[in-house]
Structure 1
Amino acid sequence: MAFRLLLLLLFGSLSGMAQESDIASKLEFERIPFGLDILDYSSTVAQRIFEDHNGYIWLADEMGIFCFDGISAFNFTEKLRKDFDFDLPETRYLVVLVDTFDNVWMGGEEGLYVFNLSSHKQWTIRHQQELNIPLNDVNRTYNLLWHNDLVYNCTWGGFFAINIQTKETEFYKSMAGLPIWPENRRSAVKYVYPDARDEIIWGSFTFGYFYFDRTRDHFEFFPSRFTNVTEYTGWQYFYTGFFKGDTLIAPSYGNGMVYFDTLSKAYRQYLYEPPGNRETTGRYERVKSYLPYDDDRIIINSEGFGVGIFNLVDHQYTFRRKDGSLFSPPKTDLDMSYDRHGRIWVNKFRSVEPVLQKDSASRHYIQIIKASSRDKSYDRVSLFHYDHIYFDYDQDDFTIEYSLVNELEPEQVTFEYFLKDFHLDWVSNDTSRFLHLPQLPGGTNELLIRAKKDDQVVATKSLYLSRVIPFYYTMWFYISLMAAMLALGLVLFRWRVRRARKQERQKATIQQQLLEMESRALKNQMNPHFIFNSLNSIKSLIQENSDEKAVHYLTQFSKFIRKALDHSEKKLISLEEEIEMCRYYLEIEYLRFEHSFTFNVEVDQAVDTSFVQVPPLILQPFLENAIWHGLLHKEGERILKIQVQQDGDRIKCIIDDNGIGREKAQQIKSAYGITQKSFGTQLIQDRLKISREMYKKIFDLTIIDKNYGGKATGTRVEVTIEI
């Protein structure tokens, strides 16, 4: 059994090699000269042959940018200098790109230049010098890639993402500071592979790959460590490649085809000749470009052998043979490109040669030209390296344009398509090269397109289309939202419980403080000194046989004491009751001091004093201060006024005297040796503050020292209460 299996595998391998050799033998060449008056080049640095959306072939060459219209070629850079006064330097131009907005992007050794074919606008883009990288390397363009709304400018000092409309740099990554060989070329970025949203970017530079996550500003590089090549080890360029799963596959300078696993970060190389041949190995392993052939094979361009086939499964090389010997166009260099007619264009010294495929059986390949949905589209430049396209969730109407490369008899080719998990069978699209998919389901959908000729399938293309489902439409979001709402509800419940408990504690504390302050206020009003003086005054009136005055005095005194005791048990009393207490107190003091001052109580008729609530015992201390410290030390007329006024939604209680003022009163107290500070005013302020916190209303106190011409003329106290 083991012997039979070995034979089958060997036969299959030989059969595959024979088939690929047959394919390679059908590659034929036709030279289209560009008419350059150059005898010889030591090298050519053209990076890309490019067909634009109008079918023109563009080439960046040592002598400038050239354009081929199918009949003849002309020097585009010379035309810009002569006809449009575009100040383009006389330098090498390494790469050209034309977008569908008619912008021609030209990368040279001194900068990036843009010319719009429609508006004739011109842009010169030069980047700033970076750390340890010469300015000419920062601006020396090596490659260009158009992706979404950005053009990636790969230079010898890093890469720059440029907005295709504004021509402004959106972001960049410098290769300065990498611990690599000191030569400038070691930091040259060869190509980049951005993801669908231009957030994760893989890229190749002189001797390996790098990874850049611009959302986190995270950068890593993974240098290759190939040792099989001696002379060329330091020049391990990695050219434009492609992803196959999580593996980056790319041609390289001196190391054949190189595989890089982006998960394990491991390199593998596949050489055409065994290592060790110093004379030939470096040259023959310089694979400089590739083109897709089918799922298992690619067409490659080797410096030593020319155009051939590389098998992605068994990693074997097959080159075209003619008359029993290897055959290739002499000195074939970097780039290859398909055109819309199915020809492969190969860059050579002094010429660009299309490789014609005469036999229709030699190659059939379905090429996606454009995929679009509403206002978002991908053209062939973006699709060349990707088989997975991402669109926003609201873009559910897809249009795809495709072609069968090398259609020698287009009228005999029909197409079918099949959307997995949506269609039950293949759907005919006849000979149309346009496919419309309305109402594409959300998520990732695999679309298969196949071409048939004479009822035989000649080519199949697989393309993944993803409508990115917003997180708020996913099941895990609803589950997470419910869990978050439950957690939030629990947190809010616990917070409300804690807040209620805290408020209860605060309320209890405030009530306790209020009780203590009310007790202190009552004590302040009912102090023995006041009671003794009042009783002594009554005694004097009795001794003087002023019975009627004594009875009136005693009546007012008893009413004041009773009201003070009654109000001390309440949190709030009416302003009417507070004013009544003030009247009792003023009459007591008025009698005791033998009418030595006059007082007046004025209440605005608009104020309903029975409705307004105030903390008890808050006005009397200010009356006492006005009489004892302001009026009794004044010579002449002594006036004390109480006014109640309405000010919007607030009530102002004003106590106004024309006494000596607070400053002089303090001087008199100091002269008598009284240094203890009176706590009556501070006590009222504390009570008003507690009342604000407890009742969530305005209770404010303002004390104004009156003066006229720099001389004190009394004190004005304003107690403001919110209705």
Structure 2
Amino acid sequence: MQRQLRLCLLIFLCLLSKEILAQEKPFAFNLVTGSKDLTLGKITGITQDKWGYMWFVDQGNNQVERYDGYRMKIFKNNPFDTNSIHSFGLENIAADSSGNVWLPVSGEVDKINSATGIVTHYKLKIAGGDAIIVDHLGVIWIGGSDGLCQFDPKTGKAIYYSHSDKDSTTLSNGPVRVLYEDKEGTIWAGNGFPFVPDKDGGLNKFNRTTGKFVRYTHDPNNPKTLINDKVRAILEDSHGTFWVGTQGDGLHIMDRKTGTFERLTYDPKHPEKLSRPPVKKGDSSDHITFIKEDISGNIWIGTYDEGIERYDPLTKKITHFIADTTSVSGFPDSTTWTAFTSRDGTLWIATETSNLLYRVDPFRKSITHIPTGETANSFVEDKNGYLWVGTEGNGVFKFDQHNNVIAHFIHSPSDPLSPPENHTMISDASDEDKIWSASYNGIRIIDENTNKLYKFSSNSDFFKDSSQYGFVSVLEDKKGVNWFATWGGGLLRYNPKDGSVKQFLPDPKDPASISSNNLNHLLEDRQGRLWVIGGGGVSKMDRKTGKFKNYLPETFIPSIYQDSKNNIWAGTEKGLYLYNEKSDSFSPFFSLFADISTLGIGGIIEDDNHNLWLTSFSSIIKVNPLTKECFIYGEKFGIGKNSLAVWGKSFKNKKGQLCIGNGDGFSIFYPQELEIKRDFKIFLTDFFINSISIVPGISNSIQKPVEEINDLSLKYNQNNLAFNFSAMDYRDPESISYYTMLEGYDNTWRKVLDEKKLQYFNLPQGTFICHIKAFDKDGEQAEKTIIIIVNPPWWQTWWFRISAIVLLAAVIYLVIRWWLSRKFKLQIERSEKEKQLAELNQKATELEMKALRAQMNPHFIFNSLNAINRFILQNNKAHASEFLTKFSRLVRLILQNSSFPLIPLEDEIEALALYLELEALRFDYHFDYQIKVDKDLDVAVIKIPPLIIQPYAENAIWHGLMHKESKGNLVIELYDKGDLLYCKITDDGVGRKKAGELKSKQASTHKSMGMQTTAKRIEMMRGKTEGSAVIIRDLVLPDGTPGGTEVTLKIPLIYD
């Protein structure tokens, strides 16, 4: 009975597997309603400009809308404004490569500059605007009811083509309803109006060189011609197939080389064959309205009355979409009017009857799902390539290489060797033929070859009775030791060699104990460390001490993983965490502003390209660990909301396929199958300064289109800014999250709310960097950076400050120059008067100086002759002869120097030295003398009056030293200080007081004319300089008795 039940269940699961694998989630037709201030009317024309804006011709509201995914900008006729579009006949629209869009109406084409909003009108001789394209040369082609117009905007010239019954190389008859340029640059025109019962129409191929057409029309006798002449749809797909759609059952593939057509008509006996949906009998207006190719290469065929068909050229599968009112995201109409594929792959479809606009994201690659009835919680691949899968409540499955179930192990009360419980987790054993199987009620070992289960034998009570806890994971480490993670019983270590078992339980008093007794997984890393996770965080065990280091306390950890670069990753209920070896800690991997930063992470696995694959409750996430770029695989890939389970584990087989456990089985796929490359950019759509919308190039300094702005230089009073922005991604614009930061002002990332608008008020002067980041739900991201410079007012600029300083300096210079000029003039006038007086004063001074020198020279000579006379009287011939010789030298110097008002200081020193030597000789060397000259004093260039020091030296000898009983000393020092020459004459004689007393006792009194004359000469040299020229100081010995006299002369420094 058990075997029969197991066989029935196996058959059921196989059928269920095929059923699920065949199921494909229907496409979502997302209604585009407009914006908060606008409800869309009937859309008859769609295009996309160079920046990515979608443009809609809204015939219902008689206007044109520009759409960025969030906002609609309206262009409509204003009878009082010539800069507005035409008011009647709007139906079609096209965009050129310069950012302009073109609107054809009867007798005119309007050009809208997308950047400035300026409308330019061009008059043309064409009736109506039934079709329009812009070719690769920028030439505008417009189809009307009376033919075709070729208009060159660069030259303003237009060429017209019309039908002629007499010339088969002209355009076929009927209005031009569709225009198309193929990859070779050939222009094709489809003619015919399906709502009029005439035979006009046909397909036309234009020859640019000759200006002629080749017509392709219906021939009743040739099945390789068009089935109907009223052509409305043309497409060359990515494989070069050329599709043509006409009225009626008119789907065709054309061979352009032979000019023949393959008619793809509906066959009721073979509805799987490619055709348009069947045309209802009597419906003469039904026709193919569009043929488009989506980003995945599928062909979409729209009809006027019978819905849409989607054809997959690879699988040959046809999907028919017709009125579906039961689904919120289904196609609720059976009619279509036009369609357009935008650059991001979004398919836009406008209906005829309901007047609605839908967008469809056709990209879909469903991930293969293998059902097991319960969550797949563990995987093992055996040596034969078979995949073993443990589940949360349906036992263990064994799959072959084609994902077919070949064995299923479930609990059977009557079979003691069956799994003890259906909640089973499996893991590798050291024996390559064995697999560990852990369940809440015990441990089993599976033999891969025989598919039989054996009980785990151990004498330990821990394994005989596990009613208090359940086994959830088994790890056999590199040393052969078995580790068992339990739910409720902590960690068990079993040594097969001696049968010993040790249990590790949390101890609130011991921080080095394991974090929880509820565990779910074990990991031995390449370094030999044991990691244990569960309901209380992560625990790392020190094998030597048996102690634990705990991380992420009170956090539920479903998974832990070591990648190929030895990084340790932890999937937690709070997101993905990465272990840092240096800091010995776990930290969040994603930044806080990323939408996936707080997703609960279950399984973790690494693919062959070193990307990590994570599982959350509703998506599979691919992460590049180096760049942190991520891609989220959700509903578009067949993964339903909350379909994944936190207990689901991840696994990579030997072929590189990934297995991801989910709510009722697992998904299996090659990572490269899901790769997508998309263009995802952020553009500014509007720019406001002080609440005024800025139009580039119009009365402002912003010359570039708003969409191309990467830097701004603003005036100081333009510091209130606002931006509207959009990622121009229409697959699911509502799911895109935006974050902004103004670096240098507010260095914090902030999430943008619904308006997708950025505002800054009263920005200070300086340079700022505005960052805008966008993340879609698939993990794609983009960033735009804008450099904003708010310049200071002109009076605070550096150039103004420099100019002001220069100007002020110039004014000061001119004032000083005027003042000096005026003063100079006054001085000239004054100097004329003073000149004569100065000359007289100079002559008087020179005469007086000469008179003083005349007094000085005889005085010195008189004293010297007295000395010679004294030697003669003393009959001292030797001294008299020596004295006379030196005296003659001295007299010669005196006579030589006396003829000059100033002499070099060295000459004065030489004369002074001769004089002192004569005096010392005359007084029988009763005193010693020294002349000290400062080493920095340049005696050769300093000039002083002759005999200006000698009188004071003479006075010191005669009145100070000669009255001293003991031998005396005379020191003369010469040095400079400031602009004065100092001469200090110091003697240690009897002092001025004693000398005066002695002088008063002498019979004859001698006035010291020399000193008085010298003092007067120095005063004349000093002029009006303050202070005394001669300073005399009495020296006193320590006992209070006179110690001599010090005389200091201050002589102005004069250089040669």
Query: Normalising by structure 1, what TM-score?
Result: 0.39
TM-score, scaled relative to structure 2: 0.28
Higher helix proportion (structure 1 or 2): 1
Higher relative contact order structure (alpha carbons within 8 Å, sequence separation ≥ 6) = 1
